[in-house]
Amino acid sequence: MEELKNIQPVLCRNEKVIAGPCSAESYEQVMDTAKQLYEQGVTIFRAGIWKPRTQPGGFEGIGTIAIPWLKEVKDRYGMKIAIEVANETQATIALNNDIDILWIGARTTADPFAVQSIANVISLAKSIDPNKDISVLIKNPVCPDYNLWLGAIQRIANTGITKIGCVFRGFKTYKKSIYRNEPIWAIPLQLMTEHPNIQMILDPSHITGDRKLINKVVREGLRIYNMDGVMIECHCDPDNAWTDSKQQIKPENLASYLDISNFNCNMFTGDVSDMNDEDKKLLNNYRAAIEKTDEKIVNLIVTRLSIAQMIGKLKAKYNIPVLRKDQWKKIIENVKNQLAIVVNENFNPYENSDDINYFISTMMENIYDEIHNTSIKIQEENNIN
Ligand code: PEP
Ligand code: MN
């Protein structure tokens, strides 16, 4: 994956927000929304002109008529322009019309043929003009498939362009959810840890499908997971938008939805180097304590598994089956009772919300499921051999 090492940021230092309507609808709607976003300090304007619709019959985008409107936004407000491209023709039109950022939508990322055909257009444009400034954002595929996402990034990186970023817009899942697309954070996190040079931009609009949930997702994506910026749908008249009306917000409300003021300059730029000496020392102590605790955890888990192995040997000797459901239920009950006592002793009761209790007990169940599965495997080995 050498090609991914050269990837550079798409968003500059003081650029954190890409905003604009889901779809370009009319000259007036584009200009009005752009003007208001410009007044809010937004520097990158997004608008879909070809809309991938799950089912036919809806508005499929205004098409190339909107290109002069977007050029006017660029000329008048100095904003960069981002549009979605889903095939060769659309990528060619975008590149021939000075669109600054091309984004590949979730449905397209899931289709390696389509991604490759876009990559071919980019390679061709690069061979004609090696200095052409091309930026591409790649949304996660609709399904939670890490390698498919990575594969799309590789195909675009193989063109030789370096300004490539990712957009996290959540995943379609069959289960019922408050979200339109479930934010399975583990997947972007894997990408962010394995490829820290690739920017990860949060798209709270398509994750939530509902503006009421945007605050919550922004807080998680930016404050907790430290993503690099947001792409958010804004419309001058959201309720009457032709597409995605429930999730679009008014430009004037942008700062409050992003949970910050002055969002283009000082959004989550805090760093450990800003801490005073006392707090720095405290942090280092906490980190050292975590390391020590981890050592103990590893030791205890291995001890527990080795006891399970001895039990396995006894079971094998008397032909007793490995799994004993009642016994496992008892162990889990025991762990949960113990957990309730320990959580109350260790966490400040005033900050110890129901959420914390829920997170911890769910985590314990998952951890114990893993420990149990491994114990069973170890015992199985004894039984068969
Ligand atoms: C969009 O950003 O307008 C869009 C269609 O998003 P996605 O590809 O994430 O569904
Ligand atoms: Mn949309």
pLDDT tens profile 130-155: 999 999 999 999 999 999 999 999 99
* Ligand 1 pocket mutation pick from 50, 84, 140 by most atoms within 8 angstroms of CB: 84
What's the burial of 303, exposed, middle or buried (CB within 10 Å: 0-12/13-18/19+)?
A: exposed
Interior CA angle at 128 toward 123 and 130, to 5°? Answer: 75
- CA gap 269, 273 in Å, rounded: 11
Q: Region 30-55: what's the mean pLDDT?
A: 95
Q: Whose CA is nearest to atom 9 of ligand 1?
A: 106
Give percent of the chain with pLDDT exceeding 70: 94
Q: Which atom of ligand 1 is nearest to the CA of 22?
A: 3
- Find out whether 60 and 51 touch, Cβ atoms under 8 Å: yes
Among the bound ligands, name the one nearest to the CA of residue 19: 1
What angle, rounded to 10 degrees, do the helices at 277-317 and 354-384 form?
Answer: 40
Ligand whose nearest atom lies closest to the CA of 103: 1
Looking from the CA of residue 140, the nearest atom of ligand 1 is 9
**Residue nearest to ligand 1 atom 4, measured at CA:** 105
- What is the pLDDT, as a whole number, of residue 333? 87
* pLDDT tens per residue across span 168-183: 999 998 888 999 999 9
Q: Is the pLDDT of residue 98 over 70?
A: yes
pLDDT at 264: 47
- 219 vs 229: CA distance, rounded Å: 12
- Note the pLDDT of residue 269: 61
In DSSP terms, 249 is beta-bridged to 234
C-beta of residue 234 within 8 angstroms of C-beta of residue 193: no
Instruction: Confirm if 168 and 205 have CB atoms less than 8 A apart.
Output: no
CA of 51 to the centre of ligand 2 (A): 8
pLDDT at 112 over 80: yes
User: In angstroms, how far apart are the furthest CA atoms of the chain?
Assistant: 84
Residues with CB under 6 A from ligand 1: 22, 48, 52, 84, 105-106, 139, 169, 206
Transcribe 135-161 into DSSP letters: EEEEEPPSS--HHHHHHHHHHHHTTT-
Tell me what pLDDT residue 265 has.
Answer: 39
Give me the chain's average pLDDT, please: 92
Model confidence pTM above 0.85 = no
Taking 50 as the threshold, does the pLDDT of residue 61 lie above it? yes
Q: Residue 183's pLDDT is what?
A: 97
Q: Ligand 1 mean position to 22 CA, how many Å?
A: 8
Distance 379 CA to ligand 2 centre (A): 52
The percentage of the chain sitting over the pLDDT mark of 90, rounded to a whole number, equals: 73
**Higher local confidence (pLDDT), 73 or 364:** 73
